Structure 1
Amino acid sequence: MLTTYKHEPFTDFTVEENRIAFEEALRNVEKVLGKEYPLIVGGERITTENKIVSINPSNKEEVVGVVSKANKEIAEKAMQAADEAFQSWRKVNPEERANILIRAAAMIRRRKHEFSAYLVKEAGKPWKEADADTAEAIDFLEYYGRQMIALKDGKPVNSREGEHNRYFYTPIGVCVTISPWNFALAIMAGTTVAPIVTGNTVLLKPASTTPVVAAKFVEVLEEAGLPKGVVNFIPGSGAEVGDYLVDHPKTSLITFTGSRDVGVRLYERAAVVHPSQNHLKRVIVEMGGKDTVVVDKEADLELAAQSIVVSAFGFSGQKCSAGSRAVVHEDVYDEVLERVVALTNELTVGEPSTREMYMGPVVDKGAFDKIMNYIEIGKEEGRLMAGGKGDDSKGFFIQPTIFADLDPNARLMQEEIFGPVVGFSKAKDFDHAIEIANNTEYGLTGAVITNNREHIEQAKQDFHVGNLYFNRNCTGAIVGYHPFGGFKMSGTDSKAGGPDYLALHMQAKTVSEMY
């Protein structure tokens, strides 16, 4: 099997053949909207009376799917199934585990537009964003499969005369995967297959807003040959199912992507040792960001403006990596602001079923209300330059919004909004810009637009984020190219899609044999 890796290419929708194929995929998905999806526990399909109804955020009348909802009893049954499956799965040859991921990647690649079409419908993603989400899922499968093959024999250690020493990795047990809605396929897939390929078993609790995409993915894993009980599909309430599984004495690993508040609470719960628990739980959390694009006075100002717009408004700003803050040197502030406003006013917002739409909806009513509330706060704190309006009559649409002249400590500059809102602050000099960039509790991504080599070297040391980009936008990390994870309250900096990630799901074991 090949061990080289190259990331999945994005689809060029300016090519008519690709556009026609995607439109056909959308039509095919529309034919099966409203379908019911069961839970999957130990390979068994379970239908419950309580359901999660998945709604298209572009069109509140359109039901994407109806998914059975797990409860504590089903969660316990899933835990027992996962624990039982672990006893045999942990001994399966790592190459065979990796092969299942590679087969699943090939299956999704053949159905790429279908999965992307589900993302358009269920997550409200424009074509380009949906295609990138699906490509990233394929990347995670391919990359982690190859990484496991590289790690299967462990790492070299020294042996003395008369003894043979080995250092290798071993699985740790049952993993609870709590995945987010914003990368409903990519992050869900990555955080599911990393524990699987390392020999653990998984209880997958996807976000309640996007469970259909997760159900389709689990079907692919089964088709690729994953044994029963290795992955168990149990969407449900965080307060009921999520807490129960986090607290469970048989849980060995928890991997979570979501809000700061939920992540911190989960981290605290996981630290408690419960009766009959004989191990400490491992926790991998990614908890969001308040990310800054810094623009130096010695910068390509057109590049700066474009980088701010892409960072702020891609997928309606619903990315933990979104550039929701622009900190611009006072000498070029007005020029950059004016250009960003002009570019923003050209953006299209609406139902993302056509290729031309740049921005779709925000994910649901709760997100819409929260973002609109922040826009009202912004009107008090700064100067509204663009957008500021929302319409939730049919779907949850918010215009891309810019606020200027914000104090660096304003709420709009400190709190994660998770929507299409960017705030501008003025910096006296480059030192001041970096000081502002570091003044939040988050430390996920950042970008610096400058042609000053000295300032680039300074930012490498002083800009305190897990992913730092120069002369480009601060979103769009590619698996295997930009290992992703943040500092401070952005999480455990576990670097998904990087060379150290799989080891977090295993225990290192030293074996020494005397001759």
Structure 2
Amino acid sequence: MPKGIYNVPEAYNEPVLSYAPGTKEREQVAAAFKEMYNSTVDVPMYIGSEEIRTGKTRDINPPFDHKKSVGKYHEGDVSHVEKAIKSALDARTKWAALSWEHRASIFLKAAELIAGPYRAKINAATMIGQAKTVHQAEIDAACEFIDFLRFNVEFMTQIYAEQPVSSDGIWNRMEYRPLEGFIYAITPFNFTAIAGNLPASPAMMGNVVVWKPSASQMLSANVIMEVFKLAGLPDGVINMVQGNAAEISDTIFDHTDFAGVHYTGSTAVFNGIWGKIGQNINKYKTYPRIVGETGGKDFVLAHPSSIPAQVATALSRGAFEYQGQKCSAASRAYIPKSIWPEVKELLVKAVKSMKMGSTEDMSNFVSAVIHEGSFDKLASYIDAAKKASDAEIVVGGGYDKSKGWFIEPTVIETSNPKYDTMCTELFGPVLTVHVYDDTKWEETLKLVDETSPYALTGAIFSQDRYAIEQATKALENCAGNFYINDKPTGAVVGQQPFGGARASGTNDKAGSVLNLLRWVSPRTIKETFVPPTDYRYPFLG
């Protein structure tokens, strides 16, 4: 067959549309929202060529209107997980052998489908099922997902182009094989882009995948599979299963062909996964790759030289966009006493101006948290703060679950730098502030580093370059994504590869070549053109 060394289309970040009143994109997403909200979807499992509906279903309820059903999804059992594994392994030989440019074409086409005819649909599904505002849905479900697909194709070609040197009479080559077996992708509710990328990135490198999406993200998960199928992804390459999480995972981790896990979720669950893999290590054909991005207790640290309006804005956006349900969300802040009165005034004013409600109303800045379990947890911490002697509610503190799981954006001020909500990951719209004495900058640096077991994101604000350098060095291990004079959220694929260490994961940097390298097994090939014909070396005389 004809051969060529192909250049892929240059990757670029998908422009974020404004959705301002009167724009075409606003009208399109409003129409898609209305259609989806006033109909019901029946989400199957996607295993091989089949759409499997077991009849064992659960409702899909918008978090901002939990009595409303917009559809149902079907749950499977162990037999369906086993079927998905077999389907993946049956597809592996042909998929792994497919020329890389054809794999690239599938995912580039998926990106174009999302950028064009599926943009409104995937955004509306995310707005309804995950309670994201139109802006949060756009930067996630559309733009970030598109960016992952485009940039990963470019990163894939960079990996394949990385070759060893060759000496005289020898040609050294490096090939990058998919892993031997199948990959298990476990994805969270909070980012549609992560839900799409975690199965897609290993698949792009020639692997086959069993994917378990979050039960709280089934509406957009279904759209992801629809897009992949339409883009030409062969049957069995990505198999989507849902059901009892422990049952699915136990079945997969017990299989001899398990080759790796791509995970985003809680630290506790990831620790359990690691332990289970360790227990079963002698069963596997190969050492599995374990790639995970987990929790965070992300900080904002302001230096006395900071500009209060900038700090207040970073806190408002960083803590409360998408109801604080980002693993990168600002949840603890350290503000010097000299600027706290102005920061506090601006922050309270901003929070009081935030509208809350259904994501269909595009004037709302925040909506509901994802489910009742999250609501109850957050409400309990807010109630405890109201009673605490070393903490007070600065603004917010209200909650109501009569219609949706609504938690007001809440700011807690504490005199205790180790107060519970300064240390515990809450995953909601609750920010805790500790005010420190201006003279204790260095002590506060140490406090920021030692307070949390996590190390995902963090931000510092300062107009003093010496202080910026000092903080950058002092905090080098407590944030995998570190921001200077910016909020700790909003990483962009290809610009700020994302991931953290310590209890925040393996720091394999989604949105970079580093992540894709985890899904290949290199093989070195040495070819000698004129082999020797005598065993004797010159030193033998």
Q: TM above 0.5, one fold? A: yes
Tell me the distance in 1 between the aligned counterparts of 2:344 and 2:413.
8
| Contact 1:317–1:419 (8 Å) recurs in 2 | yes
How do 1:233-272 and structure 2 match up within 5 A?
A: 233-272=240-279
Match among 348, 364, 385 for residue 357 of structure 1: 364
Match among 51, 56, 70 for residue 45 of structure 1: 51
- Cα shift at 1:461: 1.7
Tell me the distance in 1 between the aligned counterparts of 2:125 and 2:433.
35
Q: Which runs of 5+ in 1 are unaligned?
A: none
| Contact 2:281–2:287 (8 Å) recurs in 1 | no
Tell me the distance in 1 between the aligned counterparts of 2:156 and 2:71.
34
Q: Which residue of 2 aligns with 1:485?
A: 499
Q: Which residue of 2 aligns with 1:412?
A: 421
Tell me the distance in 2 between the aligned counterparts of 1:52 and 1:178.
19
Range moving further from structure 2, 130-139 or 440-449? 130-139
Moved over 6 A (4+): none
| Contact 2:254–2:283 (8 Å) recurs in 1 | no
| Contact 1:253–1:281 (8 Å) recurs in 2 | yes
Match among 497, 505, 509 for residue 495 of structure 1: 509
Range moving further from structure 2, 311-320 or 1-10? 1-10
| Contact 2:176–2:523 (8 Å) recurs in 1 | yes
Q: Which residue of 2 aligns with 1:167?
A: 174
- Cα shift at 1:331: 2.0
Tell me the distance in 2 between the aligned counterparts of 1:434 and 1:247.
44
| Contact 1:42–1:82 (8 Å) recurs in 2 | yes
| Contact 2:114–2:122 (8 Å) recurs in 1 | yes
Tell me the distance in 2 between the aligned counterparts of 1:276 and 1:493.
27
Q: Which residue of 1 aligns with 2:539?
A: none
Do residues 77 (structure 1) and 83 (structure 2) align?
yes
Tell me the distance in 2 between the aligned counterparts of 1:104 and 1:161.
44
- Cα shift at 1:247: 3.2
Do residues 425 (structure 1) and 431 (structure 2) align?
no
Q: Partner of 2:285: helix, strand, or coil?
A: coil
What amino acid maps onto 1:383 in structure 2? E
- Cα shift at 1:275: 5.9
Do residues 382 (structure 1) and 391 (structure 2) align?
yes
| Contact 1:3–1:149 (8 Å) recurs in 2 | no
- Cα shift at 1:15: 4.8
Q: Which residue of 2 aligns with 1:442?
A: 454
Match among 458, 472, 476 for residue 460 of structure 1: 472
Q: Which residue of 2 aligns with 1:149?
A: 157
- Cα shift at 1:248: 2.2
Structure 1 residues 176 and 399 mapped into 2: Cα distance closer, same or farther (>3 Å)? same
Tell me the distance in 2 between the aligned counterparts of 1:89 and 1:79.
15
Tell me the distance in 1 between the aligned counterparts of 2:322 and 2:253.
30
Tell me the distance in 1 between the aligned counterparts of 2:443 and 2:337.
11
Structure 1 residues 3 and 431 mapped into 2: Cα distance closer, same or farther (>3 Å)? farther
Tell me the distance in 1 between the aligned counterparts of 2:308 and 2:247.
50
- Cα shift at 1:229: 0.5
What amino acid maps onto 1:140 in structure 2? F
| Contact 1:406–1:413 (8 Å) recurs in 2 | no
Match among 11, 14, 31 for residue 8 of structure 1: 14
Structure 1 residues 31 and 342 mapped into 2: Cα distance closer, same or farther (>3 Å)? closer
Q: Partner of 1:501: helix, strand, or coil?
A: helix
Q: Which residue of 1 aligns with 2:404?
A: 395
Tell me the distance in 1 between the aligned counterparts of 2:321 and 2:511.
21
| Contact 1:94–1:152 (8 Å) recurs in 2 | no
Structure 1 residues 52 and 249 mapped into 2: Cα distance closer, same or farther (>3 Å)? farther
Higher-Rg structure is: 2
What amino acid maps onto 1:106 in structure 2? E
Q: Which runs of 5+ in 2 are unaligned?
A: 1-6, 530-541
| Aligned Cα root-mean-square deviation (Å) | 1.4
Q: Deviations over 1:132-155 (max 9, x none)?
A: 1121111111111221122234x2
Q: Which residue of 1 aligns with 2:485?
A: 471
What amino acid maps onto 2:490 in structure 1? G
TM-score normalized with structure 2 length: 0.92
Q: Partner of 2:290: helix, strand, or coil?
A: strand
Tell me the distance in 2 between the aligned counterparts of 1:192 and 1:278.
21
| Contact 2:159–2:513 (8 Å) recurs in 1 | no
- Cα shift at 1:422: 0.3
Q: Which residue of 2 aligns with 1:116?
A: 123
- Cα shift at 1:424: 0.5
Do residues 226 (structure 1) and 233 (structure 2) align?
yes
Q: Partner of 1:500: helix, strand, or coil?
A: helix
Q: Deviations over 1:115-171 (max 9, x none)?
A: 111111100111111111121111111111221122234x22122222211123110
What amino acid maps onto 1:370 in structure 2? K
- Cα shift at 1:222: 1.1
Tell me the distance in 1 between the aligned counterparts of 2:471 and 2:9.
35
Q: Partner of 1:152: helix, strand, or coil?
A: helix
Q: Partner of 2:417: helix, strand, or coil?
A: coil
Q: Deviations over 1:433-486 (max 9, x none)?
A: 322221210010001111111111122222121000111111011111110000
Q: What is the aligned residue count?
A: 512
| Contact 1:51–1:67 (8 Å) recurs in 2 | yes
- Cα shift at 1:354: 1.3
- Cα shift at 1:276: 4.6
| Contact 1:247–1:274 (8 Å) recurs in 2 | no
What amino acid maps onto 1:69 in structure 2? E
Q: Which residue of 2 aligns with 1:176?
A: 184
| Contact 1:205–1:242 (8 Å) recurs in 2 | no
- Cα shift at 1:387: 0.9
Q: Which residue of 1 aligns with 2:144?
A: 136
Do residues 62 (structure 1) and 68 (structure 2) align?
yes
| Contact 2:499–2:507 (8 Å) recurs in 1 | yes
Tell me the distance in 2 between the aligned counterparts of 1:299 and 1:231.
48
Tell me the distance in 2 between the aligned counterparts of 1:431 and 1:271.
40
What amino acid maps onto 1:409 in structure 2? K
Match among 8, 11, 23 for residue 30 of structure 2: 23
Q: Deviations over 1:390-447 (max 9, x none)?
A: 1000010010001112412111000000010000012333322322221210010001
- Cα shift at 1:22: 2.1
Q: Partner of 2:488: helix, strand, or coil?
A: coil
Q: Which residue of 1 aligns with 2:532?
A: none
What amino acid maps onto 1:432 in structure 2? E
- Cα shift at 1:43: 1.4
Structure 1 residues 433 and 168 mapped into 2: Cα distance closer, same or farther (>3 Å)? farther
Tell me the distance in 2 between the aligned counterparts of 1:314 and 1:378.
22
| Contact 1:400–1:420 (8 Å) recurs in 2 | yes
What amino acid maps onto 1:232 in structure 2? N
